[in-house]
Amino acid sequence: MGLFVAALPRSWEMSLGGLLGRSALVFDTRHARVARENLARCFPELSEDRRRALLKENYEHYGRMVLELAHMFAPIPGHFRSYVQRNVEIEGYEHWEKARARGKGVLFLGSHIANWEFAASIGAIKDMPVTIVTRRLKPAWLHAWMEKVRLSVGVRATYQPRTIPTVMKALRDNGGVVFVMDQYMSPPMGEPMRLFGVMVHTLAAIAPLARRTGAAILPVLPKREADGRVRIIIEPEIELTDDDKADNQRLASRVEEWMRAVPGQALWAHRRFKDVDWSDRLAPP
CB 181, CB 206: distance < 8 Å: yes
Of 12, 32, 5, 7, give the one whose Cα is nearest residue 21: 32
170 located within any domain: yes
Q: How far apart are CA 106 and CA 206, in angstroms?
A: 11
The pLDDT assigned to 283 comes to 57
CB 135, CB 159: distance < 8 Å: yes
236-268 pLDDT, tens per residue?
999 999 999 999 999 999 999 999 999 999 999
Q: What element of type H or E holds 164?
A: helix 164-172
234 located within any domain: yes
Indicate the average pLDDT of the chain: 95
CB 264, CB 225: distance < 8 Å: no
For the stretch 118-127, what's the b/e string if a residue is b when 16 or more beta carbons lie within 10 angstroms of its beta carbon? bbbbbbbbbe
3-state percent helix, strand, coil for the chain, nearest multiple of 5: 50, 20, 30
Helix (H, G, I), strand (E, B) or coil at 109: strand
Helix (H, G, I), strand (E, B) or coil at 44: coil
What is the residue range of 77's domain?
Answer: 2-280
Q: How far apart are CA 116 and CA 222, in angstroms?
A: 7
Q: What element of type H or E holds 216?
A: strand 216-224
285 located within any domain: no
Q: How far apart are CA 184 and CA 194, in angstroms?
A: 12
202 located within any domain: yes
CB 179, CB 154: distance < 8 Å: no
What's at 34, amino acid-wise? V
Residue 255, class by beta-carbon neighbours within 10 Å (0-12 exposed, 13-18 middle, 19+ buried)?
buried
> How sure is the predictor about 162, in pLDDT bands with cuts at 50, 70 and 90?
confident
193 located within any domain: yes
**pLDDT surpassing 60 at residue 285:** no
276 located within any domain: yes
**pLDDT surpassing 70 at residue 2:** yes
> How sure is the predictor about 218, in pLDDT bands with cuts at 50, 70 and 90?
very high
**pLDDT surpassing 90 at residue 6:** yes
Cβ atoms within 10 Å, residue 34: 17
33-42 pLDDT, tens per residue?
999 999 999 9
Hey, what's the torsion of the CAs at 199, 203, 206, 212, to 10 degrees? 100
Of 182, 80, 64, give the one whose Cα is nearest residue 122: 80
The total number of structural domains in the chain stands at: 1
241 located within any domain: yes
